[in-house]
């Protein structure tokens, strides 16, 4: 590492906080509408009206369940999150 690449000892950066978010992508749009729904920790894009609505419902229920369990998206185990999302998906 050259001298230019090394961080300056006088510039101490705080440890990066973990960040997390959910991304939902619908691929079945045939009507030409551009559907985008955003929230603090999620983005949903695309899909037919029905698909986009299902993604939105799933996301809302997922965050409600995380809150009920007192879990944060940044720290929850992937398997537990997958289980919550699966249970939150409308049938």
How many Cα atoms are found within 13 Å in the side-chain-facing hemisphere of 67? 6
Write down the number of H helices and E strands in the chain. 2, 3
pLDDT digits (tens, 9 = 90+) for 57-79: 999 999 999 999 999 999 999 99
pLDDT digits (tens, 9 = 90+) for 29-44: 999 999 999 999 999 9
Of the candidates 54, 78, 76, 55, which has an alpha carbon nearest to the alpha carbon of residue 66? Answer: 76
pLDDT (average), residues 41-60: 97
Report pLDDT for 3: 53
Ranges of H-type helices in 1-91: 49-68, 78-88
Instruction: For residue 9, give the 3-state DSSP assignment.
Output: coil
How far is 81 from 73, CA to CA, in rounded Å? 8
């Amino acid at each position: 590492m050259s001298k230019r690449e090394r961080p300056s000892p006088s510039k101490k950066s705080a440890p990066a906080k973990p960040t997390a978010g959910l991304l939902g992508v619908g691929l079945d749009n045939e009507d030409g509408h551009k559907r985008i729904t955003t929230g603090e920790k999620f983005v949903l894009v695309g899909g037919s009206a029905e698909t986009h609505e299902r993604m939105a419902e799933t996301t809302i229920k997922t965050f409600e369940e995380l809150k009920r369990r007192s879990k944060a998206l940044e720290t929850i185990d992937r398997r537990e999150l997958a289980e919550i999302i699966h249970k939150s998906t409308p049938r």
